[in-house]
Structure formats: structure tokens, C-alpha cells
Structure 1
Amino acid sequence: MKNFFLVVAMTLIANLSQAAAPISEIQSMLDKPQVLCGRFDQVKKLSGMKKPLSSNGRFCVVTGKGVLWRTLHPFPDTLKLTKDEIIHYQGDRVAMRLDANQEPTVRTINSVLFSLLSGDLSQLETLFDVEGNTDKKAWRVTLRAKQPALAKVIGAITLKGDSRVQSVHFDEASGDTTDIVFSAMQTGEAAMLPEEAALF
């Protein structure tokens, strides 16, 4: 879960045009729902370890409120990210709270994760060099950190999608990699489970 702080599926058609990422074109392809919830499947490969770490759960992105990341397997774990803080829940108990005023990196981390999950690529351009390709139905973008401090953590982030972000691949500077695939996505207030709505 903590490793996810350092980073929070669709195959592209072979003849996609190779060019600087057409961010405005991709933005026009993306849905912009007020509430988006779904399933995530995550596989993390640690350098020096043969067996990858797998987890899955649910996520919700609520415009203006933040991101909820609920790991259900192999063990329950919940993160809530807002523009001001990261809250880690264990059951109903707050296990950790990181405040953006005390930890300036929290604001950067939350901005990156919210932009990734909500598909707001225009926000990512301020922190990353962006390149990629697109056709009428699908797109792919690779992000490389502009700031040296961020580059020490994140080597590159690759996103794939259509009208929504479908998968994210993180290459960490340490050599670790993380793959996240999103599925079963639904929009609107009804997409949230009661316990998720209660946390917002």
C-alpha cells in the first residue's frame, strides 16, 4: 500500500501515429463523470524478488472531494486522498494521516494520483514530460518526471485508455514496477457502495 504512494486493459492498434502526445485530443476523448468507481487489479514486481505481489479492490474518484482506494485482497486496507491530506484507515480506525501543510509532498502525490485516476492529463503536464500516440478509439501516454526529486522516485508512468484510463504501468527508479488495470467502472452517485459514500 505505501509503495502505491510513490507511483495511486487496453491494447493499442499497431499503426498508431508516433508523435508528441496530443493531450487536447485525448482530453476530448475522455469522459469526465463527477463520480467514477470500479475495480482495480494490481501486480507489483520488486527487484530481487521472483514472486510478484498481487492485490485487488475498489476505487472511487469524486470530483472536488478526492480518491478512495480500497484494497480488499489479500487483506483489507483503505486510503482516502484529498487535496489536503492522505488518510490511511485500518477498519474504521484512522491509522495514519499525512497533512499537506506539514508534508508538502502529499499535495504533489495527491495531485498526481487524482489526475491519473480521473484522466485529467492536462494537470500532469505541469509535472511530467508527456509523449504518446492516439487514434480515434484508443490512446497511450508515457510520463517522465520533470522535477529531479520526483524523478528519483518515478522512472516513468505509462497510461492506456479509451474514454477512460484503463491501465497504468509504473516504472520506479528503484527498479520496481507496478501494473494496475481498471475494470467494471460505473459512474454516478449509485456507483458508490454505502460504506464508500460514508467516507466522503
Structure 2
Amino acid sequence: MKYYFLLLLFVSNIILAQEEQTHCNIEQLSESISVQQSLNTFTQEKTIKVLSKPLRSTGQLLLIKEKGVIWQTLTPIKGTTVITPLQFIQLDQNDNPSSFNSAMNGQTSLTMSTIFLGLLSGDIERLQQYFLIDSYCYQDDWLLTFTTTDEQVDKFLQKIVLTGSTNKIKKIELFEANQDYSKITLQPNEDNLAIEQLVPYFENQL
């Protein structure tokens, strides 16, 4: 009898949790994300279909709403991506433009800029032109799923999952068209020196 009581209690808790988990108010969530910490450190694990083990990298990410995003990998090798509303540029360890830039046409570059700026700045409405967006909120935690609906985007990206709490993005998951998968975890950082070192990348690429 005690076993059945515990089982019933367990099932009841699951049902209550599912009932409390609801769709988010997208407008409120967008406003919340937009005021997140400007500098984050990140850890990325990228699973590539042809490799037996995921590739791991770490670095820092700077978001300035009026300018864009600087995404800089520090280990295992330095590399910097400058994302603004008008460009998506990758730089090598010597801060020279990488061959990746010439492989992208202007429209693809602009689309990638729009997507990543929208994700990191909380401009969810902007992303509706490319994705079907679903959301779940439970207390302070939230999850956003972006499923590609745009034919151009679908060539390189199928789905994005964003996980966070209150105004913090904690994890970004990228499901690519070639079946590669990336998991990026973010941690707020208040290193003013790092911010000073990253900001000039905006000016140098304009």
C-alpha cells in the first residue's frame, strides 16, 4: 500500500510540474534577455559527425546593443568573430580575415548576423522571419526552440535551442543541417579589461 501511495504522489508531482510549465510571454522574455550581462565567458562543445569525440573550446563573448557581438575563442586557438547588423566576419589568430569570409555570399552573411544578434540581444520578434518559435517557462527558468522555416537558413541550420533563467542566457544549442551539433554554455563575466580589449574589434572592421 505504501508503494502505491508513493507512486501516486510521484505521478501527481509530475502532472503539477507539467501544468506549471507554460508558454512564455515572448514580449516580456525579450525585454528580460535584452538587459543581460554584456560580457560572458563561454565553453563550447562541438560534435562533428565524422569525429568520435566532441571538440571543446573556450573564450569570451561581448554584446553591445548599439554595435553588435564580438565572439572570441581563446583555447585551443585564438579566433574572433565580429557580428554587426551589416556584417559577419571571422578573424584568425593574427586578427586577419579568415578564408571563411570569402566562402559566404553577402546574403548568407547578413542572415547569420541577423540570427545571432537576434538570439543574443533578445530580439525574438526579428527571428520569426526565419524560424517557428516555441517557448516554455517554469518559474524563473525558460526554454526557447527555434525551428527553421526559411529555405536559405535550412541549408546550414535546422534548429536552435536557447535555455536560460530570468535575464540570463545559460546555454545555446545549434543543430546544423550537416548533423553537426554545438552546445555553448555562458557564464557572466565582469572583467572590464577584457571589455576594453574586445571593443576595438568593432571599430577595426567598419
- For the superposition of Structure 1 and Structure 2, which TM-score range results when normalised by the shorter chain? 0.7 to 0.9
Query: Does 1:30 find its partner at 2:55?
Result: no
Partner of 1:44: 46
Q: Is the 8 A contact 1:22 1:133 kept in 2?
A: no
Query: Does 1:137 find its partner at 2:140?
Result: yes
The 1:27/1:54 distance shift into structure 2, 3 A limit, reads same
Task: State the percentage of identical aligned residues.
Answer: 22
More strand by share: 1
2:169 aligns with one of 150, 165, 169: 165
Q: Secondary structure of the residue that 1:78 maps to in structure 2?
A: strand
Q: Is the 8 A contact 2:148 2:158 kept in 1?
A: yes
User: What TM-score comes out, normalization by structure 1 length?
Assistant: 0.80
The Cα offsets for residues 4-61 of structure 1, whole Å up to 9 and x where unpaired, read as xxxxxxxxxx535254x5312322433425x701101000001132111110100101
Q: Secondary structure of the residue that 2:163 maps to in structure 1?
A: strand
Partner of 1:118: 121
Q: Is the 8 A contact 1:141 1:158 kept in 2?
A: yes
User: What TM-score comes out, normalization by structure 2 length?
Assistant: 0.78
Q: Is the 8 A contact 2:63 2:121 kept in 1?
A: yes
> Please, which runs of 5 or more residues in structure 1 have no aligned partner?
1-13
> Please, which runs of 5 or more residues in structure 2 have no aligned partner?
1-16
1:17 aligns with one of 10, 21, 30: 21
Cα offset for 1:122?
Answer: 2.0
For residues 46-85 of structure 1, the aligned pairs below 5 Å read 46-85=48-87
Query: Does 1:90 find its partner at 2:98?
Result: no
Separation in 1, partners of 2:138, 2:34: 16
Q: Secondary structure of the residue that 2:161 maps to in structure 1?
A: strand
Max Rg structure? 2
The one-letter amino acid paired with 2:149 is K
Cα offset for 1:198?
Answer: 2.2
Q: Secondary structure of the residue that 1:193 maps to in structure 2?
A: helix
More helix by share: 2
Separation in 2, partners of 1:181, 1:76: 18
Partner of 2:3: none
